[in-house]
Amino acid sequence: MSHIHIPDGVLPLWLWVAGWIAAIVVVTVAGRIASRSEARRKVPLIGVVAALMIVAMSSEIVPLAYHVNLSVIGGILLAPALSAITAFIVVLVLAMLGHGGVTVLGLNAIVIGAEMVIGWALFHAVLRALGRSRAAIGAGVATVFTLAITTTLVVGIVWLGGAGEAAERETGALDPATMRFENPFAEGVFEFGLFGGKDHGPDDYEDGDEAGRYLSAGRFAAVVYTLGPAGWLIEALVTAGIIGYVARVRPKMVFEGPLAEEHHRIPGDESGGH
């Protein structure tokens, strides 16, 4: 659940605008840092990793609609500054394909970016403890913890937005006279039009702000923490498999980053071809 699959227009304005601002600041700073050295080499590198994550997200790992994100792998390989840029690009491209909202893009970039950076940090911490020979296990462990953390981050965002409660409150229109949000259903118009006069009046959800907030965020948390762990495990297994493989074939890439080695693999007759 690294993606916030929160539709456009559910979170309150201040929250997604704040997400956008935070993302812009992070990306600008990361862009500055990344441009300091070898910027030209990094452009295609970010491009392929972002593309790789998008390909992974678009291919089901089991015929059961679970897609991996490869964000921890991306993070391990790119280190924080490039990760932040990559996360932003990934969510931007996905949003234009209708996958993930545009308004929540900033928040999504923060969540995926956090996932990459935390994954990178945990992987290296675990490596220090376990040693390089256990790169695969390290990557798997790092992935589980990272996803648990970022899922909590998502739940936190939903809680901040007071998702359900906010939705209900803002279901009303802004009353220009009082500058307060009022519930339009009080008039009974939609109930009549859409649900044949079925009555669920305002009493259902005017239980006070805090109660509503805990209620809906709690339900959301219950859903993601139930569905989540299975996903974390799959992602961890995939991550471990891939990192294990790459650590065997190209150890430098995993332990020192892809910019460390300047290997030339020539397409065509001289390539070693693994």
Partner 1 sequence: MHIGRIDESATLADSWLHRVSPVSKLLAFALVLGAAVSTWNALVVGSLALALVAIAVSARLRWRLLLTLAGYPAVFALVFAFSAATSVLGGVTIVLKAVTAALAAVIVVLTTPYPYVFAPIQRIVPTIVGDALLMTYRSLFLLLEKFGNLITASRLRAGLTTGHPVRSARATTRALGGLLIYSFDLSQRSYDIMRMRGYEGRLHVTLPRSTDRRVDVALVTGALALLGVSLTWRLGYQALNPYSWVLPIVPVLAIIATLLTKEKAA
Partner 2 sequence: MSEHTGHAHGHASLDAVVYVSCVRHSYEDGTTVHLCGLDFLVKRGQRVTVLGPNGSGKTTLLYHLLGLLRSHEGEVRVFGVDPSREWPKIRRRIGVVLQNVDEQLLAPTVADDVAFSPRQYGMAETEVVRRVDDALAMLGIAHLHDRVPHNLSGGEKRKVALAGALVMEPELLVLDEPFEGLDPASRDSLIELLERLSTEQGTTIVMSTHDIDSVPEFADYAYVLAPGGAIVFSGTPEAVFSQADLLAEGNIKPPILAELFAALAHAEADAPPPALSVDHAVEALVRWRRGE
Residues within window 233-262 making contact with partner 2, judged by CB under 8 A: 261
250 binds partner 1 (CB under 8 A): yes
Residue that has been written with the tokens 């109930």 in this structure = 191
18 binds partner 1 (CB under 8 A): no
Collect all residues with Cβ–Cβ distance below 8 Å to 158 and sequence separation of at least 6.
4, 6, 11, 216, 217, 220, 221
Select the binding partner of residue 73 from partner 2, partner 1, none (C-beta < 5 to 8 A, by kind). partner 1
Select the binding partner of residue 154 from partner 1, partner 2, none (C-beta < 5 to 8 A, by kind). none
- Pattern 33-72, partner 1, x by CB under 8 A: -xx---xxxxxxxxxxxxxx-xxxxxx-xxxx---x-x--
Cα–Cα distances (Å) from 263 to 73, 271, 272, in that order, read 20, 11, 11
Angle at 168 between CA 104 and CA 97, to 5 degrees: 25
For partner 2, the closer of residues 28 and 58 by Cβ is 58
For partner 1, the closer of residues 131 and 188 by Cβ is 188
Q: Which of 62, 109, 75 is nearest to 233 (CA)?
A: 62
Residue 267 Cβ vs partner 2, minimum distance, rounded to whole Å: 4
Q: Which helix (H) or strand (E) holds 53?
A: helix 39-57
Dihedral pair phi/psi, residue 266, rounded to 5°: -95, 130
DSSP structural state of residue 99: S
Select the binding partner of residue 128 from partner 1, partner 2, none (C-beta < 5 to 8 A, by kind). none
- Pattern 198-237, partner 2, x by CB under 8 A: ----------------------------------------
267 binds partner 2 (CB under 8 A): yes
21 binds partner 1 (CB under 8 A): no
d(CA 165, CA 167): 5
For partner 1, the closer of residues 90 and 144 by Cβ is 90
